Chains A and B, each alone.
Chain A
């Protein structure tokens, strides 16, 4: 009986140590992935911003009449009249 309970206590102790070890490993992995994401995020976002977004933005500025510069060029006012008369729809997020 005494031996049995000693074994159980040892098992519990080992399990607790394993748990601590697992937590420690998890923290290491977490820190590593965080480091990787900090490294890769700017790279991925940089590629997206400069390779995809910027050419699109340049085309937008050339062809769209809604670009800031075109809207402001020769403008005689900066008031934008409300085109939708009546109440706004609150159900929509737009």
Chain B
């Protein structure tokens, strides 16, 4: 039985395929359309999924959409009822869209499906609608290694819910309680993302990355003015400071007055006050969520927690929940954002509605999140030939040795292997790799390869069995937790210095300076032989050559570009950046041997995020 899950029409639209309960495929539309955070119906991803698994409409049992459009429409209408006559500017823009997007959602989806396969018109495939936060909950509970767990989902907003508590037992998942719009931790964080001059729904990582440069001196102010925290762990967000409910902007003038600072515009310098605000927002978020998890643990007990929703992509927060020590085991869905809703919606139908049993996996059922499209050597070679690329085809041993050697000599390598990752992180199949020991690597990668802000940190990939020698944790397969980087030898966290702001970037904080953030942490990925044998082999070879089982692992893209999907995307990115080497499946490409010259306009072809 084939079930398709779909998320679309807000941001990060995606498709997932469940076949007899097994997760077979999942991919975001942005990877195909090459539009970052693409919100349109995932036609290209669905078409590719159906082609790869040779599916026609009649082969599908159901298509499950990740949220309920009428309840969302009700929330939109009720929000305007609560604010009119204020809110006309956004009402004028939103109202014409409601008729097409919300009221006729079913017909709209049918039209898209018929464009992909005309037989959808006559097929009996069911079109179903899950709830937004149940989709998130299902996406993290069902693939988790837990038979029983408390499920906490937090994001901007779904239909009404912004935070949801669910309980999962075996194949059953039930909603316990939720916090409703406009009281939203996701929107609170996004408001500050906007205030600090980053793009909403995209720049939240930047805020998180900026936080360690500052001091949380505004934390109390934020908690006092913005939050009313209740004894049971819930909260109210003071709407005096926010405009997202009814306006076209995220914040109101009172917000800026509180910090005595206007909204930072893109391109303006980041000051120490911006850094302090970022640090304070992160600290305030942690305080609210840790209070919530403490109360939830008191009420529901248990020692296993599943997390999903956009807020669960905040790896610093996830680690704080882990350090809190109430839950012995925490599992976070790698596609915790809205893209993951596609997977959750399909899983909810399979397990909950059809009452099919779960098969527990000791790790999890996400297959390392390598759920997207993969390309055969023949397909790769065809695309390379079409693009006039110059390549060699060494044996796997030679390829791994050559890449490891080049990395150890300071080269930056594009690494394109196997199935594409599902979710926002590149986990070693669509990655740019570099030597983490090089103190200048962070700056070089940011400015010459990724073309992004110099302050942003890079993540390390480490052999799982060696992680404990270098970091304060031994398991983080999806880069969803942070850990302290050890100094050489004594395994104590590196000492902190008194340098301030971006000056701290110049410090060498550990033997792995390219991946050690200014607070001496790293958002690491532990690589196991079972989930990614080739990447494991490369890390092992790098360790053999250098004694260090760690590499910088960043997504294979430039600023504003979705992670590469096809071999041709990878080749274009290779030729548009200062990457030295590209390992594309079994093929090896050296920049110096290419007949074509570098494309100087490549980085400009994507809208900056």
Contact = CB atoms under 8 A, between A and B. Distances in A.
Contacts of B353: 87, 90
A57 B96 contact: no
B234 A79 contact: yes
Interface in B71-120: 71, 74, 78, 80-85, 88, 91-92, 95-96, 105-106
Interface stretch (A3-11, A15-23, A48-56): A48-56
A33 interface: no
Interface residues of B, number: 47
A91 B352 CA distance: 14
A91 B126 CA distance: 8
Contacts of B130: 88, 90
Contacts of A54: 84-85
Interface in A50-90: 50, 53-54, 56-58, 60-61, 66-69, 72, 75-82, 85-88, 90
Nearest to A57: B84
Contacts of B231: 76
B417 to A, nearest CB: 37
Given A50-B85, A93-B129, A82 B80 contact: no
Interface in B343-378: 348-349, 352-353
Interface majority SS (helix, strand, loop, mixed), chain A: mixed
Nearest to B71: A94
Contacts of B349: 90
A12 to B, nearest CB: 35
A42 interface: yes
A79 B232 contact: yes
Contacts of B176: 81-82
B180 A53 contact: no
Nearest to B78: A66
Given A68-B239, A76-B232, A91-B126, 17 more contacts: A42-B92, A46-B92, A49-B91, A53-B80, A56-B81, A57-B81, A60-B82, A68-B182, A77-B230, A79-B165, A80-B180, A81-B177, A88-B130, A88-B134, A91-B128, A93-B68, A94-B70
Most chain B Cβ neighbours within 10 Å, of A46, A61, A72, A88: A88
B159 to A, nearest CB: 9
Contact of A93 (B70, B84, B348): B70
Nearest to A81: B177
A42 B131 CA distance: 33
Pairs of residues from A and B, 8 with the lowest C-beta to C-beta distance, nearest first:
A57-B84, A90-B128, A94-B70, A78-B234, A82-B175, A79-B177, A54-B84, A57-B81
B180 A45 contact: no
Interface string B229-265: 0111011100100000000000000000000000000
A81 B165 CA distance: 10
B80 A57 contact: yes
B179 interface: yes
A53 B83 CA distance: 11
A42 B71 CA distance: 26
18 contacts: A49-B91, A50-B85, A56-B81, A69-B82, A76-B230, A76-B231, A78-B180, A78-B235, A79-B165, A79-B177, A80-B177, A80-B180, A86-B174, A87-B353, A90-B128, A92-B68, A94-B68, A94-B71
A41 interface: yes
Interface of A: 41-42, 45-46, 49-50, 53-54, 56-58, 60-61, 66-69, 72, 75-82, 85-88, 90-94
B15 interface: no
Contacts of A76: 230-232
B82 A78 contact: no
B350 to A, nearest CB: 11
B578 interface: no
B128 A82 contact: no
Contact of A49 (B74, B82, B84): B84
Contacts of A41: 92, 96
Given A42-B92, A94-B68, A78 B183 contact: yes
B69 interface: yes
Contacts of A58: 84
Contacts of B70: 92-94
A68 to B, nearest CB: 5
A93 B177 contact: no
A72 B177 CA distance: 17
B569 interface: no
Contacts of B182: 68
B181 to A, nearest CB: 9
Contacts of B71: 93-94
B64 interface: yes
A6 B505 CA distance: 79
Contact of A80 (B64, B178, B230, B348): B178
A82 B81 CA distance: 24
Contacts of A77: 230, 232, 234
A79 B131 contact: no
Contacts of A68: 82, 182, 239
Nearest to B92: A45
A49 B85 contact: yes
A79 B179 CA distance: 5
Nearest to A93: B70
A85 B95 CA distance: 34
A57 B348 CA distance: 37
Contact of B352 (A49, A60, A85, A87): A87
Contacts of A67: 81-82
B84 A92 contact: no
A82 B173 CA distance: 13
A90 B174 contact: no
Given A78-B183, A88-B130, A45 B82 contact: no
A76 B234 CA distance: 9
Given A57-B82, A90-B129, A92-B129, A82 B178 contact: yes
B465 to A, nearest CB: 42
A57 B8 CA distance: 30
Nearest to B176: A82
A80 B231 CA distance: 15
Nearest to A84: B175
Nearest to A55: B84
B354 to A, nearest CB: 10
